[in-house]
């Protein structure tokens, strides 16, 4: 059970699942629990998710989709529905326990700063909340950071830092003895409370040769400094978006009083800089941004953005512009990745060789050559050995293991189960090292999906997307998994938006869009999309084309694809029903693809 069910004293038993559910029923049936139906659904959902040990996935994005029926475009910053409802339920619970539940044995609360409920007996001392990280609070009450005890890794959950408000005084009190014991625990590091952990690689020293990007304060060039505040706001927003990408290190040279930090000196001085100029005239705002090589002053990329301040408020304009800039620069296949690739061969250090593995991974993903996969996997294995605390290396290694299974690189045999096991284990290792690394969550989503745990995969995917919606690779993969799991409209829309913003890797998501078109019986569009994909090495891509040709009744062309698969991937055809079920969990979707394959002359064994 995740530690949302905690009591402050080891001698006091935590509530059991049945006790917690009985208390929930008692609350819901009380006339003193003032909450609308939507709020009651909200409370039911978060309690059941926590009891099922999925509390770490209780984010605004996930709740909005599952409880409030929002779609994949939900943005918690612009739509406060979850935050507002959480505040209402907190107040409703407080009223209940003050009026009707004074003598109840089990206390259910929702600590501020997150959505993970806490369950404890009424005679227990307050516990450190181990819920998810702070979301925007529904209340102006101040929050304080709490000390987080370590625990054995629960690989299936996202172990994150926590901020929470002090618990209501009417529930708990802390005696001087308790405070003294807590002080001793912290001072002497009692092993069973504070076990050592690998540090999270949020420190640039854990990414020693990842590209460093200096974000210079954006310059206000309006008359009389009319846009100085907007320039500062844009600088902050851009830094915030870029810092979510673990493949780069973001540096700011802003004065220390404004939250900046000194620049590294010598050979580790940032290679790249992002510069911006802001001008406001009447109601029009123009941002001119450029990305430069600081070593020679060359301009790598530049663009101008115009906004009408009469249509959007300033805060939204700042957020939108910052995201547009970050999407161009930071994701895989973005400007930073492309620019840094050219510098890799000039270095012979082990660290630089390790970072080169990340670039090699994304290069291999462009053509999905099985030979490239083996080389990249070996490279990343060495990188994880030399950098065991780097979450990104473990995440990419997990995806190379998984590629052998999902792309059928073992053309003459079914990949061993140990390959899938390795993918799952390394993805879990990546998320344990850095739960805030969207790439690690992406790897865990994929590993869970192909391991048959679709529900867990989609929850991790939602968490990854909420963590960094600017990462088009995360958005595309999450959309792909949503679509294949049967949520075709939502998933295909998200995948399409990701491709339009940043089209890499070319040829991969095109197959996903081909599947989207196939499922709506638009076979002409499906064929156009799949032929844009790389058909040289990937048997799955050939299989999708074969189903399309079968559905269209083009049997001569289908025979060519079938012959290619027989010659190059015999194990795939021999195990076709299982291979389809791995990728399409819903029986009705499986049957539609199998019908196309059957029409193309593929013998499908009965179940």
Question: What are the pLDDT digits (tens) for 536-550?
Answer: 778 888 999 999 999
549 within domain boundaries: no
481 within domain boundaries: no
Provide the b/e sequence for 4-29 (b: ≥16 CB within 10 Å).
bbbbbeeeeebbeeeebeebbebbee
Domain edge (last residue) among 188, 216, 246: 188
Domain range for 210 is 204-338
580 within domain boundaries: no
Residue 376 shares a structural domain with residue 442: yes
Instruction: Write the DSSP symbol of residue 266.
Output: G
Residue 178 shares a structural domain with residue 55: yes
Domain edge (last residue) among 456, 473, 492: 456
Domain edge (last residue) among 309, 338, 367: 338
Instruction: Give residue 573's pLDDT.
Output: 86
Residue 290 shares a structural domain with residue 213: yes
Instruction: Give residue 416's pLDDT.
Output: 58
Task: Give the tens place of pLDDT for each residue, 236-280.
Answer: 999 999 999 999 999 986 544 444 455 555 446 788 999 999 999
Residue 122 shares a structural domain with residue 270: no
Residue 151 shares a structural domain with residue 236: no
pLDDT band at 199 (very low <50, low <70, confident <90, very high): very low
Residue 269, SS3? coil
- Lookup: tokens for 90: 């907190």
The CA distance from 291 to 275, in Å, is 6
166 closest CA partner among 128, 122, 124: 128
529 within domain boundaries: no
Decide the pairing of beta strands 106-109 and 118-121. antiparallel
**412 has pLDDT over 70:** no
Cα 137 from chain centroid?
21
- Lookup: tokens for 9: 């004293």
Residue 233 shares a structural domain with residue 303: yes
Q: Among residues of the chain, what percentage have pLDDT more than 70?
A: 77
Residue 178 shares a structural domain with residue 45: yes
**419 has pLDDT over 70:** yes
Is 169 buried (19+), middle (13-18) or exposed (0-12) by CB count in 10 A?
exposed
Q: What is the CATH number of the domain that holds 424?
A: 1.25.40.10
Instruction: Give residue 535's pLDDT.
Output: 65
Residue 64 shares a structural domain with residue 170: yes
Instruction: Give residue 124's pLDDT.
Output: 58
The CA distance from 558 to 597, in Å, is 9
**50 has pLDDT over 70:** yes
369 within domain boundaries: yes
1 closest CA partner among 93, 143, 120: 120
Sequence-distant (6+) residues with CB within 8 A of 588 are none
CB 550 within 8 A of CB 599: yes
Q: What is the CATH number of the domain that holds 216?
A: 3.30.160.180
Residue 144 shares a structural domain with residue 281: no
The CA distance from 146 to 320, in Å, is 33
442 within domain boundaries: yes
**295 has pLDDT over 50:** yes
535 closest CA partner among 520, 522, 548: 548
Provide the b/e sequence for 540-557 (b: ≥16 CB within 10 Å).
bbbbbbbbbbbbbebeeb
- Lookup: tokens for 220: 């206000």
DSSP string of 319-366?
A: HHHHHHHHHHHSSTTSHHHHHHHTTGGG---HHHHHHHHHHHHHHHHH
Q: Give how many domains the chain has, as a whole number.
A: 3
**51 has pLDDT over 60:** yes
Residue 253 shares a structural domain with residue 174: no
Task: Give the tens place of pLDDT for each residue, 76-135.
Answer: 777 888 988 898 899 889 878 877 887 889 999 998 888 999 999 886 544 333 333 333
Residue 364 shares a structural domain with residue 333: no
Instruction: Give residue 36's pLDDT.
Output: 85
Residue 167 shares a structural domain with residue 23: yes
499 within domain boundaries: no
Instruction: Give residue 268's pLDDT.
Output: 62
How many CB atoms are located within 10 Å of the residue 362 CB? 20
Residue 107, SS3? strand
251 within domain boundaries: yes
| Overall pTM surpassing 0.85 (yes/no) | no
Residue 164, SS3? strand
């Amino acid at each position: 059970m995740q530690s949302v069910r905690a009591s402050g004293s080891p001698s006091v038993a935590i509530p059991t699942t049945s006790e917690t559910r009985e208390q929930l029923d008692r609350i819901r049936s009380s006339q003193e629990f003032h909450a609308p139906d939507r709020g009651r659904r909200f409370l039911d959902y978060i309690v059941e998710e926590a009891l099922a040990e999925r509390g770490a996935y209780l984010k605004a994005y996930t709740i909005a989709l599952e409880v409030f029926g929002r779609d994949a475009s939900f943005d918690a910053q612009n739509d406060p529905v979850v935050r507002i409802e959480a505040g209402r339920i907190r107040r409703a619970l407080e009223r209940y326990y003050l009026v009707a539940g004074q003598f109840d044995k089990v206390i259910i609360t929702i600590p501020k700063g997150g959505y993970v409920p806490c369950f404890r007996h009424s005679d227990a001392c307050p516990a450190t909340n181990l819920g998810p990280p702070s979301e925007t609070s529904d209340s102006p009450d101040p929050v304080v950071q709490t000390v987080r005890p370590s625990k054995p890794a629960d690989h299936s959950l996202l172990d994150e830092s926590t901020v929470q408000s002090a618990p209501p005084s009417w529930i708990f009190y802390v005696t001087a003895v308790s405070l003294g014991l807590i002080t001793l625990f912290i001072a002497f590091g009692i092993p069973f409370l504070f076990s050592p952990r690998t540090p999270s690689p949020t420190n640039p020293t854990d990414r020693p040769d990842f590209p460093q990007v200096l974000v210079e304060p954006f310059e206000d060039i309006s008359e009389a400094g009319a846009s100085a505040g907007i320039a500062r706001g844009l600088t902050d927003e851009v830094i915030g978006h870029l810092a979510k990408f673990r493949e780069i290190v973001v540096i700011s040279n802003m004065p220390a009083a404004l939250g900046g930090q000194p620049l590294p000196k010598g050979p580790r001085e940032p290679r790249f800089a992002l510069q911006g100029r802001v001008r406001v005239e009447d109601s029009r705002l123009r941002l001119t941004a450029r990305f430069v090589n600081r070593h020679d002053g060359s301009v790598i990329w530049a663009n101008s953005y115009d906004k009408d301040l009469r249509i959007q408020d300033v805060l939204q304009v700042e957020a939108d512009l910052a995201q547009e800039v970050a999407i161009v620069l930071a994701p895989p296949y973005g400007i930073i990745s492309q620019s840094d690739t050219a510098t890799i061969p000039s270095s012979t250090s082990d660290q630089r060789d390790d970072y080169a593995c990340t670039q090699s991974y994304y290069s291999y993903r462009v053509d999905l050559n099985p030979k490239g996969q083996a080389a990249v996997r070996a490279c990343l294995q060495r990188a994880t050995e030399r950098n065991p605390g780097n979450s990104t290396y473990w995440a990419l290694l997990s995806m190379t293991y998984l590629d052998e299974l999902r792309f059928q690189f073992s053309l003459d045999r079914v990949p061993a189960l140990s390959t899938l096991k390795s993918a799952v284990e390394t993805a879990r290792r990546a998320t344990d090292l850095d739960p805030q690394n969207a790439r690690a969550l992406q790897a865990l989503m994929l590993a869970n999906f192909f391991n048959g745990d679709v529900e867990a995969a989609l929850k991790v995917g939602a968490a990854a997307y909420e963590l960094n919606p600017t990462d088009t690779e995360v958005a595309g993969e999450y959309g792909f998994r949503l679509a294949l799991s049967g949520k075709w409209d939502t998933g295909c829309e998200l995948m399409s938006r990701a491709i339009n913003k940043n089209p890499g890797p070319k040829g991969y998501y095109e197959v996903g869009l081909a599947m989207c078109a196939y499922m709506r019986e638009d076979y002409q569009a499906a064929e156009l999309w799949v032929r844009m994909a790389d058909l040289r090495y990937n048997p799955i891509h050939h299989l999708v084309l074969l189903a399309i040709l079968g559905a269209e009744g083009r049997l001569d062309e289908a025979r060519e694809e079938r012959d290619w698969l027989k010659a190059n991937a015999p194990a795939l055809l021999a195990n076709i029903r299982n291979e389809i079920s791995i990728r399409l969990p819903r029986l009705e979707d499986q049957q539609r693809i199998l019908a196309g394959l059957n029409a193309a002359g593929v013998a499908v064994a009965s179940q």
